[in-house]
């Protein structure tokens, strides 16, 4: 998707109402061939919320390359995993726009449209489910800070993990054509995409990620492998997923693995590259600076 296409979507009313949306052409999307989704009777459909194009009932995974202009590529590559609670994907805000921004920095970016859990076929039924009453998240207090951080919610992520592994394998297979250094392939994800990024880091047998960037994902403690990649982590203090937890940061630090953590004063959840008048709006600049300082943007950085 081009910048003009993103502006087309953003030009619509940016409110929380769910509107039907005709599926975009996605001419550069490459099928990953990882199969379908069991018990998925509904076809893939798209909707728009907060001005952002979103897809749901995805049963065929794809990978969309966003390659830097000729002469600008530095060899680094990033798999971009949008979020949406594993029920939908925020393809514009957390996918195409991020990939375009990375490509402008000379980084080959690849948007992963991974398989999701089924949702209602009717958009009205889906909208009602999305707007259902939810209990308020627990407020942090002095007593809760003394307790161990809650572990991540356990889900069957075998399909998204298989899609991520297939994406990584495809990038390796086409590394020469796409100008990618196989030793400098990282992954960045947002919300549920951050969860997938972390899941792939901890459980994949085939992915050897050079770095990871979980952006406003779960903060619970995890067991960190000895060879865990450097991590750049971002969340806002007014994000419902934060809840005064630093478990994943503490785990990475105690494992002796490189970690950079940015806790922003405000930004809420799902801010993508940024929303107006929020301190979290500069996280992408910090991320690319982190990549540069750690020499992920220069050849032979891993040697």
DSSP per-residue string spanning 151-175 = PPPP---HHHHHHHHHHHHHHHHTH
Locus of tokens 């032979």: 300
- Whole-number Å distance between alpha carbons of 217 and 20: 27
Q: Is it the case that residue 12 has pLDDT exceeding 50?
A: no
Mean pLDDT (whole number) for 33-44: 92
Per residue in 39-81, pLDDT (tens digit) is 888 999 999 998 899 999 999 999 999 999 989 999 999 999 9
For the 3-130+149-293 domain, the top CATH level (class) is alpha beta
Question: 3-17, 94-108, 146-160 — which is least confidently predicted?
Answer: 3-17
What the block records as the tokens of 136 is 């308020």
Closest Cα partner for 34 from 228, 206, 217? 206
Higher pLDDT, 181 or 299: 181
Per residue in 156-215, pLDDT (tens digit) is 999 999 999 999 999 999 999 999 999 999 999 999 999 999 999 999 999 999 999 999
pTM of the model: 0.90
Per residue in 86-137, pLDDT (tens digit) is 999 999 999 999 999 999 999 999 999 999 999 999 999 999 988 888 776 6
The pLDDT score that the predictor gives to residue 155 is 76
Q: Is it the case that residue 4 has pLDDT exceeding 80?
A: no
| Domain residue extents for the chain | 3-130+149-293
The pLDDT score that the predictor gives to residue 2 is 44
Closest Cα partner for 152 from 122, 97, 196, 103? 196
Q: Is it the case that residue 146 has pLDDT exceeding 80?
A: no
Cross-strand bridge partners of residue 78: 109, 186
Mean pLDDT (whole number) for 5-32: 76
CB atoms within 10 A of CB 144: 14
- Whole-number Å distance between alpha carbons of 146 and 132: 33
Residue 193 in 3-state DSSP?
helix
The pLDDT score that the predictor gives to residue 70 is 86
Per residue in 229-271, pLDDT (tens digit) is 999 999 999 999 999 999 999 999 999 999 999 999 999 999 9
């Amino acid at each position: 998707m081009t910048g003009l296409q993103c502006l087309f979507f953003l030009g619509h009313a940016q409110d929380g109402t769910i509107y039907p949306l005709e599926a975009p052409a996605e001419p550069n999307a490459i099928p990953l061939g990882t199969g379908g989704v069991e018990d998925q009777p509904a076809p893939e459909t798209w909707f728009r919320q907060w001005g952002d194009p979103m897809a749901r009932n995805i049963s065929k995974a794809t990978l969309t390359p966003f390659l830097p202009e000729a002469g600008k590529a530095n060899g680094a590559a990033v798999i971009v995993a949008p979020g949406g609670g594993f029920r939908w994907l925020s393809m514009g805000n957390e996918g195409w726009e991020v990939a375009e921004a990375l490509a402008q920095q000379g980084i080959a970016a690849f948007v992963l449209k991974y398989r999701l859990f089924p949702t209602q076929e009717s958009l009205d039924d889906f909208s009602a489910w999305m707007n259902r009453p939810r209990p308020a998240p627990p407020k942090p207090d002095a007593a809760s800070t003394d307790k161990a951080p809650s572990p991540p919610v356990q889900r069957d992520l075998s399909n998204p993990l298989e899609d991520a592994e297939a994406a990584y394998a495809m990038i390796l297979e086409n590394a020469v054509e796409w100008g990618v250094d196989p030793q400098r392939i990282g992954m960045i994800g947002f919300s549920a995409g951050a969860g997938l990024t972390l899941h792939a880091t901890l459980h994949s047998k085939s992915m050897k990620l050079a770095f990871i960037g979980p952006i406003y994902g779960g903060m619970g403690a995890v067991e960190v492998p000895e060879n865990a990649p450097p991590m750049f982590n971002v969340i806002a203090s007014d994000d419902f997923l934060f809840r005064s937890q630093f478990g994943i940061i503490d785990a990475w630090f105690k494992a002796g693995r490189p970690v950079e953590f940015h806790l922003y004063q405000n930004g809420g959840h799902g801010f993508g590259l940024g929303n107006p008048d929020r301190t979290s709006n500069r996280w992408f600049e910090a991320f690319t600076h982190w990549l540069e300082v750690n020499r992920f943007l220069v050849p032979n950085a891993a040697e």
